[in-house]
Structure 1
Amino acid sequence: MAFYQKRLSTGWTFKDADDDKTDAWMPVPVVPSSVQQDLIANNKLENPFIGFNELKAHWVHEKAWVYRLAFPQPAPEDMPAGARAALVFDGLDTFATVTLNGQTILKSDNMFVGHRVDITDALQSPQNQEHIQEHILEVRFDAADARACAIRAQHPEHKWIVFNGDTARLGVRKAQYHWGWDWGPHLMTAGIWREVRLEVHSARIADLWPKTTWLDVDSRVANITVLATIQASGWTDLTDLTASFRLSLGGHEIACQDNIPVTNTNANQTVTVEADFQVEDAQLWWPHGYGMQPLYEAAVSLFHRGTRTKTGTGTGTELHSASKTFGIRSAELIQQPDKHGKSFYFRINGVDVFCGGSCWIPADSFLPSIDAERYRKWIELMVAGGQVMIRVWGGGIYEDDAFYDACDQLGVLVWQDFMFGCGNYPVWPAMLDSLRQEAAYNLRRLRHHPSIVVYVGNNEDYQVQESAQLTYDFDDKDPANWLSSDFPARYIYEKLLPDAVAEYAAPGTVYHPGSPWGDGKPTSDATVGDMHQWNVWHGSQEKYQIFDTLGGRFNSEFGMEAFPHMATIDYFVEHAADRYPQSHVVDFHNKADGHERRLATYVTENLRRQTATSTNADFAAYIHLTQVVQAEAMMYAYRGWRRQWGEGDDSDDADASPSRRCGGALLWQLNDCWPTISWSIVDYFLRPKPAFYTVKRALAPLAVGVQRQHHDWSVAHAQPPATSTYALWIASSQPAPLVNANANVTVELRFCSVASGKDLRAPLVFENITVHPNGTTTVIADGDGVIDHRSEPEAHVLCARLLLDGQVVARDVDWPQPLKYLDLADRGLHITVEHQPNEQKQQVLRIRAQKPVKCLVFEERDGVRVSDSAMDIVPGDEQIVTVTGLGDGDAPLAYHYLGQDV
């Protein structure tokens, strides 16, 4: 028989497991779901994202819940003699007991694994086929909080230490952020969180794995091995089966291998069949900005006593077919000794890639609510923002296939953490068995995605070890000793997981034990490995103006908080009386410890508060100030660290190897899981904050940077410096140098008065510059540019522009710090609107100013996108912004800039 599959997504009901009333069952709109979503749909729970409703939702996770489905006995033609039937659960959250017709068929305690349960006997028994019209499937979910606490009590020998949430979470394989984090609520979900289906087969393709076994990047020749795991029922002889493999690109078949016999080599009716292909002129997969993202398709069809002809038709019965897309590319993590210590950067297809991007948390507290379209919109935003890497953080989930599909299609590299975060995890035998299953299941599921370039053991667990002074002797290489130490999780990160990656992942897959981690050295060591730099905001709360001096070889976490836009705040603030920055409900929606003093410190140190005429205007002005702080902080970080990607590229030799002092920067964080105030640069509703745009400009293929020497006004008691030095440079991700032969490269540097808008001295113009490829070109070295404040006491901005053949391609403006000392009112800003006659409803905004403008931010409106925002505008340099999505009758976008009258 042909493979039969039916999704079991509708017809479910659910109830409180302790409620015995006959009318307790409530309808479930659709599965996958969570109990909170289903309670909301039945008007039994208020939206936990609004007001203080999170607190009103805690009763939900204190109870056990039961889901029930009655499904019909399959028709004889769908369940013939000899066929096997299975219930497939792609994800159960978390402590689940599954019964069929009252008989227990599955117990699960790991949210991150799927299950396949054979139910053939229940469906094929004579009494069922003759008398039973339907089958009752029930799934009971115990309260994860209570189970976790019971597990902790059973293991007093373990040191239960965490940075966020309840320590009991460490003993449960559930998304750790459900216990609450410093950016998210405590909402413990339960339910069938991924697809469940009924499958019937006589033979099926249990797994399909296309892997690149050899690649010559220069000649673009690749060997591809496609492995298909075939599973047959006891009544089907594997020797009666043949497999046909096809390799396609862009919908066109480029190679095939037909009629490969399936040979039974074991007693369990499971065998792996493979086909090898040599691909000439291989189309390489690249991260966006470096090339295209061609995706090949590997497909296999399984035939019973038949063949597939060259025209694609089979003479026998096709029992099952499956396909997967994949990309052909090489990926390396380059860790080599150099003058800065030991490098840490990625090389894709032989090309070094500066991995500027973001960290990713789950996009919702209720995971089933994230559909493929929403995933794609997030990744599209990354691409629009010039971000090339996303880090899937270890306290969330192994993401949905749709997430990785979008990264594959759009060219975003994935740094994939395993799901361990901020804790000292236990390793009793049953836990290790569960972790092996978890690693194998997810590596098999994800290994065909070209976007995934590194697997990482955990998030900050080595920092927990350091903080709690747990045992860690890097020179001790005996795993048995690790297991018996008070930091037993080392066994997971340095033995279990690397072994799993070697066995199940694609050949040559990169593994890194933790984030941050570097050869067993302290996690704060800036010379090796990756670093989480939290001495801005957390820690010593350094000034963000020195971000570039605080980085390491790869900066995989750092950040600054900011409020989201007013529309997002209006969503969760119910009452007008609460619309002010320090209101109870606003503070409740910021989960960061000490956020009041930290955010206030950075705002007060850098910006002046405006006097408003109304509470609403004051709130809007404060929101803008926090956003300016975040935008400035991220600009200083990305501008400086990208400069270090090619630091020292100032020789006359355009082919000289650059110094990769900093291999990448992944800010914390791209997104939110609920409407909140956090470190995200795009809020829960996909509304970008101003920092999104400053990062975009810093990561542009060609960027110009100008930065004056930092003067710590706090230490100097607000005394201005006598002199300041500054540097000027070009950052490029272009694969080839820009020289006079292919472009006239010019850099201009102006010295513009903040008060009058006039140039205080003649501009510096540098012509016929050779821009080094994929690195940094120094125009003015550190210390060579000098401002003498005694002869030029007037505060002024340094305005840099990069021009190619007379066209401006990049800008940067360096301002005197702190901004609070500057009077930025009455800037003479002028914006004209031109309507474009096209179907995209585009407007062109032409922006001019008489005096320098700081951080011009446009309103973020759903369905409307602006090409740029958070802009600095200087006199004599008109800038253009394209607005897409505004209708003819729509109000123009509001805007705000620093110092604007409120």
Structure 2
Amino acid sequence: MEAHTHNLDSGWSWKERDFGVASVLDEVPSRATPEALPSTWASAQAFPSEVHVELLKAERIPDPFIGFNEHKVQWIAEREWLWLSSFPFSSRGDNGKVELCFEGLDTFCDVYLNNRKILAADNMFRSFIVPLDVTTLQDQNNQLLLHFKSAKKIAKDLEEKYGRVRAGSTNLGDPSRVYVRKAQYGWRWDWGPELMTCGPYRPVSLITYAARFSSVYPRAIVSHAPVLSPLLKVDIALAGVLTAPESARFILRNSRNKTVIREEDVPLSISYHDREKLEINDAISWDLRDLVELWWPVGYGKQTLYEMEVVLLTQDSNVLDRQIQRIGFRRVELVQEPLREPDQYGQGSTFLFEVNGVRMFMGGSNWIPADSFLTELTPERYRAWLTLMRDGNQNMVRLWGGGVYEPDIFYDICDELGLLVWQDFQFACGVYPAHDAFVASVKAEAEDNVKRLRHHPSIALFCGNNEDYQQVLQWGGIGELPARLIYESVLPAVVSELTDPAIPYHRGSPYGGKGWDTADPTVGDIHQWDVWAGRERPWQEYGQMGGRFVRRVLIRLLESHLVDECSLLPSEFGIPSIPDIRTVNYWLAENEDQRWAQSKLMAQHNRAGNHERRFAIVMNENFRLTGDLETFAHL
């Protein structure tokens, strides 16, 4: 029996929870097919999906990105929502295993199978695998019900239980968000709207198997420079009904032309005690000198990739399972060592990346979720944005901590384009808790995502949080940061234990200096917002406002004067702007009376603090003033 994954991506229906019905199970007619459901159920137009997306496609809500419509859809976050589907199951009578896999449930979701509760999910960033009792499954019409509760209400309940904390300014959402493992931008941010959605936003599948790989970790190891010798080791973990003798076949191919580079069958020694679960480290160890090429960031060499296929075989060479992962051979290090000589900021240490023995200039962008509704993103949209970065001479993307861990396709594209990835864990601008249940959930979340991402050659750094240390220092009056336990103990331990070769870990962004002095330009990285916000200094002073995360900036002024600042600039900085006038025209719609830079509708679509006054300052200092919106947006 070969392992099979059946995607449950069709036949879904959804509805709003009716609290006039005592039990959520009573909202589902017994053994009803999608065609026989009451009219209160609507057919899902897509899957995976989210409630806002379904409501939009059903024309039950206005476009929240137009005009003031954002305010008209806030009720959605206060309600509860149901998704329903059914699937057949054919038992093959061979003592096989069956599991349901949920790759992403946003966020508080009770899952029922045939009227029996099998899961209570409470973390958007986790995947959940639920073993099923085969005897409870029917040949046809196994009903799967997903009950999504209001994260907004639950967050307030948790705040009532644990206490109100600080979590940024009012344009960074309600502080209760820190108690919920959900994308923080959903509560609104200074760059986006408050659109707190829910739903099965990543795939749901049914897995059947006799024995399968529960984990395959190809460890592409490169020795220290100048030798840079490539070595491949593979760790595997098995689950199911394991019977000896069995073997695993390892095949390494060039990802581009599929040429087989090396292949080996390895017998598996399975004892009586291992018959349900088995872990084997270093199942193979291959010296690949002269057989493979190194992977390089864009601008430094080729992005050579390889496919590692692992096949689980029975004694009769029947296939039980197979997995393929794409890898690249590279060595990445975060170099923090004392400066040989003091610079303009004094003595301190470096903060730079070294790949394959080469210390590199890092120029890049911070990445926020590219859509408020994650299921609307396609591989084509991801590729277009990331290709734009590469073509703009960028070689690193930082995934910001108030969003999500992106899907696999994002990191696949980064591997192909040669973009290094700085991956924040998902914490942003808040005093997060550290009670036992919260820490346990975060630990499981970190393990899920580190295991999922660690084989990508583009992953250069895992970072504990975005601006949590900095926010505490800026506000003052906060005696402790409970989540230091997470940033300084739990997360680094997960990264250390699960990555080999080791992927660097940094406690936070920004982080460095004595007593977490996140503004210290001599240690770690900094976020420099004293041009747009803070002290509101002229942008021409960027060259004197840097830190140890180095970027060389060439600034071309309108008068074609070239300023070469050789600047030390931070991991986060910038100035917000009005978007292209075509985007402005889209959200203005029929509201022509709002077509001016300081109108209420323009403010509705720009959450940056005091943006009207700050835009005016920057415009006044650098351009002729204008009342024309098109010219204002262009400048």
Same fold (TM over 0.5): yes
1:112 corresponds to which of 108, 111, 125: 125
CA distance in 2, matches of 1:468, 1:265: 59
Matched, 1:243 2:255: no
- How many residue pairs are counted as aligned between the two chains? 584
Contact 1:98 1:104 in 2 (8 A): yes
1:549 paired residue number: 544
Which residue of 336, 360, 370 corresponds with 2:367?
A: 360
Is the CA contact 1:262–1:271 (under 8 Å) kept in the aligned structure 2?
Answer: no
Shift in Å at residue 255 of structure 1? Answer: 1.0
**Contact 1:470-1:486 within 8 A present in 2 as well:** no
Q: Is the 8 A contact 2:245 2:267 kept in 1?
A: no
Query: Is residue 418–residue 455 contact of structure 1 (8 Å, CA) maintained in 2?
Result: yes
The answer to whether structure 1 residue 399 and structure 2 residue 394 are counterparts is no
Is 1:42 aligned to 2:58, yes or no? yes
- Are positions 1:517 and 2:511 aligned together? yes
Give yes or no for the alignment of 1:202 onto 2:203.
Answer: no
Q: Assess if the C-alpha contact under 8 Å between 2:242 and 2:270 holds in 1.
A: no
Rounded to whole Å, the distance in 1 between the matches of 2:272 and 2:305 is 33
What is the Cα deviation at residue 335 of structure 1? Answer: 0.9
Matches of 2:205 and 2:519, distance apart in 1: 47
Is the partner of 1:355 in helix, strand or coil? coil
Q: Any idea what SS the aligned residue of 1:40 has?
A: helix
- Distance change >3 Å, CA 317–CA 382, structure 1 → 2: same
Deviation at 1:111, TM superposition (A): 0.4
1:186 Cα deviation from its structure 2 partner: 0.5
- Paired position in structure 2 for 1:90: 103
Query: Which of 599, 602, 605 is the aligned partner of 2:615?
Result: 599
User: What residue is the counterpart of 1:224 in the other structure?
Assistant: 232
Correspondence 1:492 to 2:493:
no
Q: Is 1:248–1:296's contact at 8 Å kept on the other side of the alignment? A: yes
For the structure 1 residues 7 and 151, does the alpha-carbon distance in structure 2 shift closer, same or farther, using more than 3 Å as the test? same
2:297 maps to what in 1?
287
Structure 2 Cα separation of the partners of residues 49 and 518 of structure 1: 39
**Residues 486-543 of structure 1 deviation map (CA, whole Å, 9 limit, x = unaligned):** 3111111111111011111232210110100114441111111101001001001000
Give the structure 2 partner of residue 568 of structure 1: 583
Letter in 2 for 1:534: W
From the superposition, tell whether residues 214 and 623 of structure 1 become closer, same or farther in structure 2 (CA, over 3 Å). closer
Question: How many Å apart are 1:229 and its aligned residue?
Answer: 1.4
Residues 418-429 of structure 1 mapped to structure 2, 5 A cutoff: 418-429=425-436
2:278 equivalent to 1:271: yes
For residues 265 and 408 of structure 1, the distance between their equivalents in structure 2, rounded to whole angstroms, comes to 41
Deviations 1:414-447 (A, max 9, x none): 1111101000100110111101101101000000
Rounded to whole Å, the distance in 1 between the matches of 2:427 and 2:269 is 40
> Residue 188 of structure 2 aligns to which amino acid in structure 1?
G
2:567 is aligned to none
Quote the residue 2:563 is aligned against: none
Aligned to 2:560: none
Structure 2 contact 581–634 (Cα < 8 Å) conserved:
no
Alignment-mate amino acid for residue 94 of structure 1? T
User: Residue type of the partner of 1:623?
Assistant: A
For residues 122 and 89 of structure 1, do their structure 2 counterparts lie closer, same or farther at Cα, with a shift above 3 Å needed? farther
* Range that drifts further, 241-250 or 439-448: 241-250
**2:596 paired residue among 543, 555, 580:** 580
SS at the partner of 2:104?
Answer: coil
Aligned to 1:535: 530
Equivalent-residue separation in structure 1 for 2:608 and 2:585 (angstroms): 20
Contact 2:222–2:330 under 8 Å retained in 1: no
Task: List alignment gaps of at least 5 residues for structure 2.
Answer: 22-26, 28-37, 550-569
In 1: Cα distance, 2:70 partner to 2:224 partner: 54
- Higher-Rg structure is 1
Structure 2 residue aligned with 1:7: 7
- For 2:186 and 2:275, the matched residues in 1 are separated by 39
The corresponding residue for 1:372 is 379
**What amino acid sits opposite 1:595 in the alignment?**
H
Q: Which amino acid aligns with 1:284?
A: L
Deviations 1:312-363 (A, max 9, x none): xxxx211111110111111111111112321111111111111111100011
Task: Provide the rounded CA distance (Å) in 2 between the counterparts of 1:265 and 1:526.
Answer: 59
8 Å contact from structure 2 (residues 242, 275) kept in 1? no
Contact 1:264 1:271 in 2 (8 A): no
The answer for the alignment partner of 2:31 in structure 1 is none
Contact 1:226 1:276 in 2 (8 A): yes
Structure having greater relative contact order (Cα 8 Å, sep ≥ 6): 2
Partners of 2:325 and 2:58 in 1: CA distance: 38
427, 430, 436: which one pairs with 2:443? Answer: 436
Q: Which stretches of structure 1, 4 residues or more, deviate above 6 A after TM superposition?
A: none
User: 1:211 maps to which residue?
Assistant: 219
Identity, in percent, stands at 40
Once residues 136 and 269 of structure 2 are traced to their aligned partners in structure 1, the CA distance between those partners, rounded to angstroms, is: 28
* Residues 1:298 and 2:308 aligned together: yes
- Which amino acid is the alignment partner of residue 589 of structure 2? E
Could you tell me how far apart the structure 2 residues matched to 1:140 and 1:515 are? 36
Residues 128-160 of structure 1 show CA distances to partners (whole Å, capped at 9, x for unaligned) of: 35xxx311100000000000000111113x744
**DSSP 3-state at the match of 2:571:** strand
- Give the residue type in structure 2 aligned to 1:561: P
Q: 1:80 aligns with which of 93, 98, 107?
A: 93
How many Å separate the matches in 1 of 2:61 and 2:275?
Answer: 48
- Whether the aligned pair in 2 keeps the contact of 1:394 and 1:419 (CA below 8 Å) is yes
TM-score (norm 1): 0.63
Residues 588-597 or 333-342, more deviating: 333-342
* 1:162–1:331 Cα change, 3 Å: same
Write 1 or 2 for the structure with the bigger share of strand: 1
Residues 1:593 and 1:619: Cα distance change in structure 2 (over 3 Å): same
The answer as to whether partners of 1:238 and 1:262 remain within 8 angstroms in 2 is no
- Matching residue of 2:557: none
**Cα distance in 2 between the residues matched to 1:406 and 1:67:** 31
Q: What is the alpha-carbon distance in structure 2 between the residues aligned to residue 518 and residue 261 of structure 1?
A: 47
Q: TM-score, normalised by structure 2?
A: 0.89
Per the alignment, residue 18 of structure 2 pairs with: 18
Q: Secondary structure at the match of 1:593?
A: coil
CA-based RMSD: 1.7
Distance 1:2 1:353 in 2: 46
Which residue matches 1:191?
199
Letter in 2 for 1:392: L
Name the SS for the 2:455 alignment partner: coil
Query: Would the aligned equivalents of 1:243 and 1:262 in 2 still touch at CA under 8 Å?
Result: no
Q: Which whole-Å CA distance do the structure 2 matches of 1:101 and 1:349 have between them?
A: 54
1:90 corresponds to which letter in structure 2? E
Work out which of the residue numbers 463, 468, 476 in structure 2 matches 1:469: 476
Deviation at 1:265, TM superposition (A): 7.1
Which residue of the partner structure matches residue 633 of structure 2? 623
* SS, match of residue 243 in structure 1: strand
Q: Deviations over 1:566-604 (max 9, x none)?
A: 111111111233322222222210011100000111101
Q: Which amino acid is the alignment partner of residue 175 of structure 2?
A: T
Seen in structure 2, the aligned counterparts of structure 1 residues 562 and 150 have a Cα distance that, compared at 3 Å, is: same
| Aligned residue identity for 1:560 | I
- Give the secondary-structure state (helix, strand or coil) at the position aligned to 2:212: strand
Q: What letter corresponds to residue 6 of structure 1 in structure 2?
A: H
1:68 to 75, 84, 89: 84
1:327 matched residue in structure 2:
328
How far 1:225 moved relative to its partner? 0.5
1:89-140 deviation line (CA, Å, top 9, x unaligned): 001000000000110000010000001111233555xxx35xxx31110000
Q: Distance in 2 between matches of 1:430 and 1:101?
A: 29
CA distance in 2: counterparts of 1:46 and 1:192, whole angstroms: 22
Q: Does 1:55 align with 2:71?
A: yes
Map of 2:452 onto structure 1: 445
Q: List gaps (5 residues or longer) in structure 1.
A: 307-315, 472-484, 612-617, 626-902
| d(CA) in 2 for partners of 1:216, 1:392 | 28
Deviation at 1:278, TM superposition (A): 0.9
